[in-house]
Amino acid sequence: MQEDNKRPWGYYEVLSDAPDHKVKRIVVNPGGILSLQRHKKRAEHWFIVSGNGMVTLEKKKHLVKPGSVIDIPAGAAHRMENTSSKELVLIEIQTGTYFGEDDIERLEDKYGRV
């Protein structure tokens, strides 16, 4: 794992990076929570591999467990929270026109990131 892929909530690994998609394996530590964010140029498809959590998608909350799937349209506010005592692992498939980390618009962040 590259150092720049570590985050306060866990880390991610890029499994595929192509002009028309990006695939990440995301590991969220127990009690970790990603920022409430949205993207202008990409949609995301999350498949939960292991662990349990809570996904916020717009104003709705969804409990997730292994095998759960969440589709996040471009522009939708979303976040993942690990609500268990074990790591939560998900595969994220990004589709759209741009996949850079600078397409993250943070709306709220537990760790004070802008």
Burial class (CB in 10 A: 0-12, 13-18, 19+), 67: exposed
Q: How many CA atoms lie within 13 A of 112 on its CB side?
A: 0
Instruction: Check residue 53 and give its pLDDT.
Output: 98
Instruction: Check residue 91 and give its pLDDT.
Output: 98
**In order of start, what are the domains of the chain with their CATH numbers?**
3-104 (2.60.120.10)
Instruction: Check residue 100 and give its pLDDT.
Output: 94
- Mean pLDDT in each 10-residue stretch from start to end of the chain (114 residues)? 83 97 98 97 98 97 98 98 97 97 94 90
> Is the separation of the CB atoms in 88 and 25 below 8 Å?
no
Rounded Cα distance between 42 and 18, Å, is: 13
